[in-house]
Structure 1
Amino acid sequence: MTLPVDMILHFLRSVHPYDSLAAETLADLCARFQAIPMAKGDPIYAFGEPLSGLYLLYDGEVEVRDATGSPVSLLGPRNSFGERGLIGDGTALTSARATTDGTLLLLPRADFDSLMASEPVFAKFFDRRRNDARRGSDLATSRVKTFMAANPVTCPPDSTVQQAAQTMHDKRISSLCVTEAGGLTGIVTTRDLTGKVLAAGLPCTTPVAEVMTRDPLTLSPAAIGSDVLHAMMEHRIGHIPILQASRLVGIVTQTDLTRFQAVSSAELVRAIAHADSAAEMAGVTAEIPRLLVQLVAGGNRHEIVTRLITDIADTATRRLLKLAETTLGPPPVPYLWLACGSQGRQEQTGVSDQDNCLILDDAVTPEQMPYFAELARFVSDGLDTCGYYYCPGDMMATNPRWCQPLRVWRQYFAGWIARPDPEAQMLASVMFDLRPIGGDRSLFAGLHRDTLQAARRNSIFVAHMIANSLKHTPPLGLLRGFATIRSGEHRNMIDMKLNGVVPVVDLGRIYALTGELTEVNTRARLQAAEAAGALSASGARDLIDAYDLIAETRLAHQLARINAGDAPDNFMPPTVLSDFERSHLRDAFVVVKTMQSSAGQGRGMLS
């Protein structure tokens, strides 16, 4: 297959880091790329085989798996892959196969090496991607506070060894920190109980103070994993209390180290894909907060973190669909399960509800509809069991309104576009974020394309959608402060979802609508809007930078909540930020507000 050089040039100008190369370098590079057609199911390369070069996806989708066969990512247009093998001996460290028909661009190994040696921006980008892929699971350089057990169980020195043993048994732990007058005086472990009490024949009424290890080795939350590893190996211990300003705030055990190293999105995906019930899946999804901590603490960018977490929800949904079909029998007609909301945009964090719907083949009959009602209930109940709570607005496939034949969905979208009343605006905003999860994807392709075309051509609908997108505003107050929530449970806090990321999500949706862009992820929409000319380079750069800061601040807040032993949420008191952080976060909100103002005045597409 041959792609004209001018098409490759236009494409590369929309892909980083090629967009940073000099014009003459980029023009020369275009002739070096090889266009390769791919068909659904085609293997691209296998683990351990020599790589021909760097792959860049022109169109279509590619699934990448690790050495164990676990899925790592599902890539779309503008994504590169294979570089981790090239930065080394050229042997593939993953495997890849096409999941749709499409086209690949292959940059030969020699040209890749030449660019790595001569173009600093190119080298920095691919070195960073390689390091980002490894960094999240790097125990040696992760802070202790990201994997310690917070709020350790304690006992006073006069507790008996029997009481200590009972507490450890009930709590399923292997040690107790011994405290007195608020300070740590020692630690007692199960090994102490067996070696110093049972082996010596001491009575069960012996005080803990007589067998505990006094003044144990401690570390601070700012220590790193290698400090823990070295201390445990040097002193032959398996438990280290964590003190901050002489106050006991946590403990690290060998089990904590093992768990931290073991958790990964790929392992969770693998476990869910083989689960036999929603209850079994729930045991896996319960690990998501720990995965979030590990990914964020490891320095991964927010779009990587949310993509990996969303992959887990996607896998759970597909597994539940399979279990439903096993229970209910084969579906009477083809169907497609779709997600909207944060799952649809691949932007899930540590707290998510479920937003989904079903598109059915037009051949479905009224007699067959109960099957899909049962399937929807089976999957939605299973997702709730897994921690994806029911949508408060009932935007779920269990609602008959959102479980309909394709022809009805076409009527829905046509009606919303023709009569954009407030409810239509709200529903269109949600449904423009639809993404297929499981089933017959052909049921959505034509609907998506036709809806985007019809929506863009209706200037009244576009105007209403723009107005609707401005309802969520950044929390900007007077005198360079923040406008916090004024009353209730979250008084004096910022809603980092509704007033933080949602205003950017709404802008991204508008850019996608006016540019007929098929991307659903917010960051991808902003990048595609710039590439399509719907958003200027400077506007895109400012808005993407602002979005990155807001989204990463939100994730950092959720990480802090989890580390404190609380459930993650979106309500952040600005007082937890330093003056420097507050200043930059406010600047990010100002950028978003400016872009909203431009959109409201009809200038937002070119800001």
Structure 2
Amino acid sequence: MDHPVATIIGFLETVHPYDTLPRDELARVATSFSRRDYGAGEEVYHAGEPLRGLYLIKRGSVEVQEPSGQVISLLGPRNSFGERGLARDGLAVTTARVTEDSVLLLLPVPEFRWLIATYPAFERFFSRGRGHDTRGGDLTTQKVGDLMARKPVIIGPQDSVRLAAQKMRDARVSSLGVVEDGQFLGIVTTRDMTHRVLADGLDPSTRVAEVMTPDPISLRPESLGSDILHIMLEHRIGHLPVVEGTALVGMITQTDLTRFQAVSSAQLVRDAATADSVAEMAAVTARIPRLLLQLMGGHNAHEVVTRLITDIADTVTRRLLAMAEAQLGPAPVPYLWLACGSQGRQEQTGVSDQDNCLMIDDSATDADMAYFQALARIVSDGLDACGYVYCPGDMMATNPQWCQRVGVWRSYFRRWVQTPDPMAQMLSSVMFDLRPIGGQASLFKDLQHETLELASRNSIFVAHMISNSLKHTPPLGLLRGFATVRSGEHKNHIDMKLNGVVPVVDLGRIYALIGQLEPVNTRARLEAAEGAGVISLSGARDLIEAYDLIAQTRLENQARLVRSGRKPDNFLAPSDMSDFERSHLRDAFVVVRTMQSAVGQSRGARS
């Protein structure tokens, strides 16, 4: 029996990446789905069989197994499966079986492949090639060092079991490493407290050494997740110390494994899209640092990691827009919410503020504008509560200057291009990074084409933009060293944002302006500039490789901070790198500086 189309549309609006489709396209795709009902234990398909299409779970749960019979995932509502076979020869590479009465929606093969070929969001989401987060989501191939959630909490062997219990309570952990003079001796768990202390009526002053498990089974950081699973299952234990030499460097628990398997970009997007409150969404975004750690542990490319993280911010924004409309009533006229900055470029990392604006149909009255100011406040406050803090420069839709009718925005863009003073240059940089997030995308499309053409024809404006882009320089010091922050909290660190990725972001924006290129993402801009002949083939290849190294190093450093229990930031200490890493990073900065020099010379030629 087919599902009513209206019901499918309502469901797809809560499922990523279908929630990115234009409304009319979503309605068309919804008609392609058919309903399939399965009873508990029934097989959906078997490995090696031809697939009928992509399956989407509306209700129930599905167990996916490798041909060997090993269960690799347990899927719930809004999860898709079968895409791996469709991306190859159309044959199932796994076996899928429902574990309870379930309702599945089936998207035919031709429609699935058309969506992949037409919409980048679908290609990214369902790709199984380089960089999709399912690779990082394979627990068995992850290194143990990338699975550790925090620094281990330790206690001395001569300390009392009362102190041990207090430490476990205060740190909210179920085990402690027993360490003396830096040497790992054993482990004490909540189970030990129950079975060896309370059950035997021991005094709270009893020494930890008397109840701990000495010389427990342990792993090294370079061990694999499969080692954890095998040891835990074979020995029926729930805690595994991670040891390097004689030092305890981490603790892996069954909770860590559960947390790891529950964190994926798709899961976070789903949870954000279905959240009923800002608090629920904030709980979702609080898992982003863990997702970053997981994705980097899976050796995913930086541009994929940042896009997957940005997808979460996009979903949170759209959910907040829906909540605002539910509170205020339907919008009186069409509008468009746009992101700029790192979200606009789909380059968000583990630490991001918010940069956004509102474009409103020219038919809006003054009373209508009051509605949009209220909507902007609800969304911006919600983003802040979810960790996307208010923009220090007030580049937000809550600022009346950035909550305007399309006609006002058109006059802004024209004035900035025609009068390229320092403020106009800064605002123009923001303008070229705008990306529609929610609302009527057509309000911006014509304006984007018009502004790119107008700006690229104005040689004085282009020269000013080039000059402005050269203000951010790579951190190159004398004698093959680095120019680091000179004072303050981050003294002797490299600012991997301001002096690392921003110089390349600025170059990408200039190339897009010169070539009238539409991509907003930096790496996509560099590739488009290469294809359009804006920069030479060799120059493009060198710059892309340099950017990849710089951006990847930035993310690896953020993951390292998360692993050590700290908040991710953009500051890297050269002393934390090997000579080999420092040399290659410096070479990458040299490439960026060389390309800046080339752009600067072209500016002179234009003058």
Specify if TM > 0.5: yes
Q: Contact 1:51 / 1:90 at 8 angstroms: preserved in 2?
A: no
Cα shift readout 1:371-416 (whole Å, capped 9, x = no counterpart): 1111111111111111111111010011110000000000000000
What is the match of residue 43 of structure 1? Answer: 29
- SS of the aligned residue for 1:241 comes to strand
What is the match of residue 109 of structure 1? Answer: none
What is the match of residue 12 of structure 2? Answer: none
Which of 151-160 and 425-434 deviates more? 151-160
Shift of the 97–562 alpha-carbon distance from structure 1 to 2, 3 Å rule, reads farther
Q: CA deviation at 1:133?
A: 4.9
- SS of the aligned residue for 2:436 comes to strand
Which of 512-521 and 131-140 deviates more? 131-140
Cα shift readout 1:152-182 (whole Å, capped 9, x = no counterpart): 2222334443443343234332112223333
Q: CA deviation at 1:218?
A: 2.2
Quick one: which amino acid aligns to residue 421 of structure 2? D
> What's the TM-score, normalizing by structure 1?
0.81
What pairs up with 1:534-549 in 2 under 5 angstroms?
534-549=534-549
Quick one: which amino acid aligns to residue 505 of structure 1? V
Does 2:374 align with 1:374? Answer: yes
Cα shift readout 1:207-261 (whole Å, capped 9, x = no counterpart): 3322211222222222221222222223322111222232222111111111112
Counterpart Cα distance in 2 of 1:390 and 1:397: 11
Shift of the 262–82 alpha-carbon distance from structure 1 to 2, 3 Å rule, reads closer
What is the match of residue 206 of structure 1? Answer: 206
What pairs up with 1:324-339 in 2 under 5 angstroms?
324-339=324-339
What is the match of residue 362 of structure 2? Answer: 362
What is the match of residue 221 of structure 2? Answer: 221
Shift of the 269–604 alpha-carbon distance from structure 1 to 2, 3 Å rule, reads farther
Which of 360-369 and 314-323 deviates more? 360-369
Q: Contact 1:373 / 1:398 at 8 angstroms: preserved in 2?
A: yes
Shift of the 320–165 alpha-carbon distance from structure 1 to 2, 3 Å rule, reads same
What pairs up with 1:34-433 in 2 under 5 angstroms?
40-41=25-26, 42-43=28-29, 50=51, 70=78, 85-87=86-88, 89-90=90-91, 129=129, 132-433=132-433
Q: CA deviation at 1:585?
A: 1.3
Quick one: which amino acid aligns to residue 211 of structure 1? V
Which of 576-585 and 316-325 deviates more? 576-585
Cα shift readout 1:549-588 (whole Å, capped 9, x = no counterpart): 1110111111111111111111111122222212211111
Counterpart Cα distance in 1 of 2:505 and 2:52: 38
Structure 1 vs Structure 2: percent identity of aligned residues? 63
Q: Contact 1:39 / 1:98 at 8 angstroms: preserved in 2?
A: no
Cα shift readout 1:250-295 (whole Å, capped 9, x = no counterpart): 1111111111122100000111111111111111111101100110
Counterpart Cα distance in 2 of 1:410 and 1:167: 60
Which of 153-162 and 540-549 deviates more? 153-162
Shift of the 441–52 alpha-carbon distance from structure 1 to 2, 3 Å rule, reads same
What is the match of residue 584 of structure 1? Answer: 584
Q: CA deviation at 1:432?
A: 0.6
Q: CA deviation at 1:489?
A: 2.2
Counterpart Cα distance in 1 of 2:255 and 2:167: 18
- SS of the aligned residue for 1:185 comes to strand
Counterpart Cα distance in 2 of 1:105 and 1:188: 55
- Unmatched 5+ residue regions in structure 1? 1-37, 54-65, 73-80, 107-125
Shift of the 425–566 alpha-carbon distance from structure 1 to 2, 3 Å rule, reads same
Aligned length: 529
Q: Contact 2:84 / 2:128 at 8 angstroms: preserved in 1?
A: no
Quick one: which amino acid aligns to residue 594 of structure 1? T
Quick one: which amino acid aligns to residue 85 of structure 1? L
Q: Contact 1:144 / 1:220 at 8 angstroms: preserved in 2?
A: yes
Cα shift readout 1:479-514 (whole Å, capped 9, x = no counterpart): 222222222222222111111111111111111111
Quick one: which amino acid aligns to residue 198 of structure 1? L
Shift of the 237–87 alpha-carbon distance from structure 1 to 2, 3 Å rule, reads same
Cα shift readout 1:328-353 (whole Å, capped 9, x = no counterpart): 11112111110000000000001101
Q: Contact 1:70 / 1:269 at 8 angstroms: preserved in 2?
A: no
Cα shift readout 1:508-555 (whole Å, capped 9, x = no counterpart): 111111111111001111111122222222221111111111110111
Shift of the 201–71 alpha-carbon distance from structure 1 to 2, 3 Å rule, reads closer
Q: CA deviation at 1:600?
A: 1.2
Q: Contact 1:475 / 1:482 at 8 angstroms: preserved in 2?
A: yes
Counterpart Cα distance in 2 of 1:166 and 1:368: 57
Counterpart Cα distance in 1 of 2:116 and 2:162: 68
Quick one: which amino acid aligns to residue 252 of structure 1? I
What is the match of residue 464 of structure 1? Answer: 464
- SS of the aligned residue for 2:200 comes to coil
Q: Contact 2:463 / 2:603 at 8 angstroms: preserved in 1?
A: no
Q: Contact 2:168 / 2:174 at 8 angstroms: preserved in 1?
A: yes
Shift of the 336–322 alpha-carbon distance from structure 1 to 2, 3 Å rule, reads same
What is the root-mean-square deviation in Å for CA atoms of aligned residues?
3.2
Shift of the 488–88 alpha-carbon distance from structure 1 to 2, 3 Å rule, reads same
Q: Contact 1:51 / 1:92 at 8 angstroms: preserved in 2?
A: no
- SS of the aligned residue for 1:354 comes to coil
Counterpart Cα distance in 1 of 2:177 and 2:541: 51
Counterpart Cα distance in 1 of 2:118 and 2:359: 34
Cα shift readout 1:20-44 (whole Å, capped 9, x = no counterpart): xxxxxxxxxxxxxxxxxx9823439
Q: Contact 1:50 / 1:92 at 8 angstroms: preserved in 2?
A: no
Q: CA deviation at 1:68?
A: 5.7
What is the match of residue 60 of structure 1? Answer: none
- Unmatched 5+ residue regions in structure 2? 1-22, 35-44, 55-73, 95-105, 120-125
Shift of the 573–131 alpha-carbon distance from structure 1 to 2, 3 Å rule, reads closer
Cα shift readout 1:398-448 (whole Å, capped 9, x = no counterpart): 111000000000000000000000000000001110000011111111111
What pairs up with 1:13-28 in 2 under 5 angstroms?
none
Which of 212-221 and 267-276 deviates more? 212-221
Shift of the 178–604 alpha-carbon distance from structure 1 to 2, 3 Å rule, reads farther
Q: CA deviation at 1:128?
A: 7.7
Counterpart Cα distance in 2 of 1:586 and 1:565: 28
